[in-house]
Structure 1
Amino acid sequence: MTESGTPGSHAVKVKGVITWVAVADALKAEVRLYDRLFAVPQPDTTDTTDKNYHKELNPDSLKMVTAYVEPSLASAKGDEKFQFERHGYFVADRKDHMPPPLNGGEGKSVFNRVAGMKDSWGK
């Protein structure tokens, strides 16, 4: 457990510790935020006679954003799992994530969200 030095801080149970990434060391990464594929809970039960599922697709089922992560994630292997603070659980993309070559140069960091975090802010 960590203590802040604030009087009474020892009485507060710490649920977790957030680590911030230093700007000077941060690694630029592509992060894919996957959401529900369909905009309706049960697409096969809607009242469409033509069964055109394209109409029921969620247009926001994939958002791609740029994030800055710990430099150690550059060497992650495909399918290696991580928790990104307050955002969920992510996996290094097995196809598109490329660690930097041993002889130098740049790789490409790509992470896919596999599960979001339950938001308890303000509860």
Structure 2
Amino acid sequence: IRNDLNENALRALAVLDPIKVTITNYTEAGEILRVPNHPQNPAFGERDLPFSGTIYIERDDFMEEPSKGFHRLSPGKDARLRYAYVIRCDEVIKDAKGEVVELKCTYDVDTKGGQNPKDGHKVKGIIHWVDAKTAVKAEVRLYDRLFKVPNPASLDDADFISEINSESLQVRSNAYIESSLAKAAPETRYQFERLGFFTADRIDHKVEKPVFNRTVTLRDTWAEKA
């Protein structure tokens, strides 16, 4: 199923655990980017993707104290926004509990659509995002394997219960998606770029309250462990 979805599912952007990013030197009211519905298959056409000076990125794509090999956003470092520009993190805003709630960034106007910075340095990290002004809040259900072992039939009764995966369903009720996804027909399939393959729920998905279920992750993690 993963191979079939990779070939046939439309691409879209969604952020499941958002951090607000304000691009302080972006002075335009906003713009529309034309992006492919499937980067490997031009026959799927293109879509409009709104962009403005306020966006959401994934919390996992920022580290205040980056570990070795982390090439996404961190203070004083830059990353490329998928289909858009290179941004650099200049300031980190925290709440009273010390949790990061906003990043103040600047963008490089010359890097639109994959262009390299004029100073020639390489930007290694590419992160996904959604436009905060137009994105729609959604419920995203992350389904995973029911058991922690590949073959639960091999377990005896004592081990059967202990090997149930307590995180086989995680619900992200504060996710944001491209606005066009709210109007998706039930059971429409997408790849949320960098996140996995998702389907609009057959019963619960509504324009006023979009609901998407994860069908499968991008990679088979058990196969990688084998």
Give the TM-score of the pair, scaled to structure 2. 0.40
Which residue in 2 is equivalent to 1:13? none
User: Equivalents in 2 of 1:19, 1:40: separation in Å?
Assistant: 32
**Counterpart amino acid of residue 85 in structure 1:** E
User: Equivalents in 1 of 2:181, 2:116: separation in Å?
Assistant: 32
**Counterpart amino acid of residue 186 in structure 2:** G
Paired residues, number: 104
In structure 1, list runs of 5 or more residues that go unmatched. 10-16, 100-106
Which residue in 1 is equivalent to 2:134? 25
Q: Does 1:98 align with 2:209?
A: no
Equivalent of residue 57 in structure 1, options 164, 168, 171: 164
Give the TM-score of the pair, scaled to structure 1. 0.70
User: Equivalents in 2 of 1:3, 1:60: separation in Å?
Assistant: 37
Once the two structures are superposed, residues 27-79 of structure 1 have per-residue CA deviations (whole angstroms, 9 ceiling, x without a partner) of 0000001111112221111233x6x8443321000000121011111111110
Which residue in 2 is equivalent to 1:113? 214
Work out whether residues 18 and 85 of structure 1, in 8 Å CA contact, stay in contact via their aligned partners in 2: no
User: Matched residue of 1:21: which SS?
Assistant: strand
User: Equivalents in 1 of 2:203, 2:134: separation in Å?
Assistant: 25
User: Equivalents in 2 of 1:26, 1:62: separation in Å?
Assistant: 24
Task: Give the drift of 1:5.
Answer: 4.6
User: Equivalents in 1 of 2:114, 2:193: separation in Å?
Assistant: 20
Rate the CA distance shift 1:62–1:72 in 2: closer, same or farther, 3 A. Answer: same
In the TM superposition, 1:32-71 aligns within 5 A as 32-48=141-157, 53-65=160-172, 66-71=174-179
Which residue in 2 is equivalent to 1:88? 196
Q: Alignment RMSD, CA only?
A: 2.8
Judging by fraction of residues, say which structure has more helix. 2
Judging by fraction of residues, say which structure has more strand. 2
User: Equivalents in 1 of 2:117, 2:204: separation in Å?
Assistant: 46
Higher relative contact order, structure no. (Cα contacts within 8 Å, ≥ 6 residues apart): 1
**Counterpart amino acid of residue 64 in structure 1:** V
Task: Give the drift of 1:24.
Answer: 0.9
Identical-residue share of aligned pairs (%): 47
